[in-house]
Structure 1
């Protein structure tokens, strides 16, 4: 079974790369930026390319193994071992719309355990404009693949060993919705002067993977929505398999059917970081209880 998951992840990464070529071609086409103004456009609705992209990916996945279908089409009836594909559109809609390179195509695979809790067991994140792919499968470790002038480089990844906020590199994400953005900025303001740098690049899938490979020591974002599940679930597997930590701000498990205040760390600085998160002016906090995901540290 485990060897099968490893090979499955490699096959899925090839599908993500093919999908990424189509999405990158679309990104390079001229656009009317007036139609992309955040005052006039709800970025939560995604892009026109999203439906074509997700359908292309899912059709290709069915040639490998359709399992029980799509994650969003699952029913209340389940059995241990049932698996569902979770396919999103472009993660990083604003970056994509503004011709930035930091966006990705994400694919994950969920499996139900004997307790009725479905957890991601395979994740692929492909960033076409960066020539970068992260992939991981349960108990198989996490890999970063980069295309270079001398060929493809495959590297096993692991988080940093930085043990204090002082001098660390922290990344954060925030919504375009004013109230949700303020929540993130409150934390950033309270952290000022502690980390050596606080980055805001996005999207969530790449930010979590950059914690997994040691680029960042931590990443946090409040108010991640259900629409973010494809990106978060794929990146979660990469982080867990690299031996990083993922939780809600208050230390709970991620809820895959609802909203979350998310924090990813190298496992070393969470104790110092957490008070800044939970003491922020957060309003409603989203934290739920599920069975511990396989591979979570």
Structure 2
């Protein structure tokens, strides 16, 4: 990677994710409580989500004061440098609240509207995933070492392991359950991990053949989508569209198109 700016952005994202991950892992109080709710009473924010976002934005602003921010917990500023940070300080908050290990810190850097750097730290896995546009995707950790990521070879759809997620609004998740019920007989099996960023990285790492979800926000997608693409996966939404809140899909080549076709047929893109 020869672009000095991308190198700088990657280094900053890695350090910010490391610091936030350590705060979340080591600072979780035993009596962790819900600070507020979002879309429904079960869509929660904890004090640790808020603290992690403050840590990340403070660190990045200190080093690059002209950059913009878009964060799940309210950070929003346009900036003046052409760089914007898209941040999910705690992806998988309900898992974290319950003491489950599948949660992550997701940080992406956009330059002139294009995602050029993505970092996802999964502290309880002791793994950090990273990608730079055009530079491939990698994972580091004491158990996996340092390796380049590559998605799984194409499999027939009926042999594909697929992950998904569900909204926290009852009417929406009811339809999502109907879609999953129709999809289950057509694939190997379905998983529900609870962190979109980790699911996208698991596609990149070859631990899943595919992942899809409706209702994601830019901070859920930005880093993991780049990591999946740089690992050779195909990402998108409805036919002819990019991944978005309407529908996001990431899959190994060969699985993507037939899965996308079924999801279109089943109406996975609407409530």
TM-score, length basis structure 2: 0.87
Consecutive unaligned residues of structure 2, counting only runs of 5 or more, are: 71-75
Cα contact 2:91–2:195 (8 A) shared by 1: yes
SS in 2 for 1:271: helix
Greater shift in the superposed pair: 2-11 or 237-246 = 2-11
Question: What aligned pairs does 1:137-176 form with structure 2 within 5 A after superposition?
Answer: 137-148=132-143, 153-176=145-168
Candidates 197, 200, 221, aligned match of 2:192: 200
Q: Name 2:208's counterpart in structure 1.
A: 216
Asked if 1:88 corresponds to 2:88, the answer is: yes
CA distance in 1 between partners of 2:41 and 2:255 (Å): 37
CA distance in 2 between partners of 1:39 and 1:231 (Å): 15
CA distance in 2 between partners of 1:83 and 1:12 (Å): 13
Cα contact 2:246–2:270 (8 A) shared by 1: no
1:283 deviation in Å? 7.2
Shift in CA distance, 215/144, structure 1 to aligned 2, threshold 3 Å: same
Asked if 1:24 corresponds to 2:25, the answer is: yes
TM-score, length basis structure 1: 0.80
Cα contact 1:16–1:124 (8 A) shared by 2: yes
RMSD: 2.7
Q: Name 2:177's counterpart in structure 1.
A: 185
1:28 deviation in Å? 5.2
1:231 deviation in Å? 2.6
Q: Name 2:128's counterpart in structure 1.
A: 133
Shift in CA distance, 11/147, structure 1 to aligned 2, threshold 3 Å: farther
Count of aligned positions: 265
CA-to-aligned-CA distance 1:202-232 (integer Å, 9 cap, x gap): 21000011111111011011122xxx32231
Shift in CA distance, 65/277, structure 1 to aligned 2, threshold 3 Å: same
CA distance in 2 between partners of 1:39 and 1:284 (Å): 17
CA distance in 1 between partners of 2:261 and 2:171 (Å): 21
Cα contact 1:36–1:97 (8 A) shared by 2: no
Cα contact 2:36–2:46 (8 A) shared by 1: no
CA distance in 2 between partners of 1:129 and 1:36 (Å): 24
Asked if 1:249 corresponds to 2:249, the answer is: no
Asked if 1:121 corresponds to 2:155, the answer is: no
SS in 2 for 1:250: coil
Question: What aligned pairs does 1:38-49 form with structure 2 within 5 A after superposition?
Answer: 41-43=41-43, 46-49=45-48
Cα contact 1:183–1:280 (8 A) shared by 2: no
CA distance in 2 between partners of 1:238 and 1:57 (Å): 20
Q: Name 1:264's counterpart in structure 2.
A: 250
SS in 1 for 2:30: coil
Shift in CA distance, 215/73, structure 1 to aligned 2, threshold 3 Å: same
Shift in CA distance, 38/56, structure 1 to aligned 2, threshold 3 Å: closer
CA distance in 1 between partners of 2:77 and 2:39 (Å): 32
SS in 1 for 2:115: strand
CA distance in 2 between partners of 1:173 and 1:84 (Å): 27
CA distance in 1 between partners of 2:12 and 2:78 (Å): 23
Q: Name 1:57's counterpart in structure 2.
A: 56
1:17 deviation in Å? 1.2
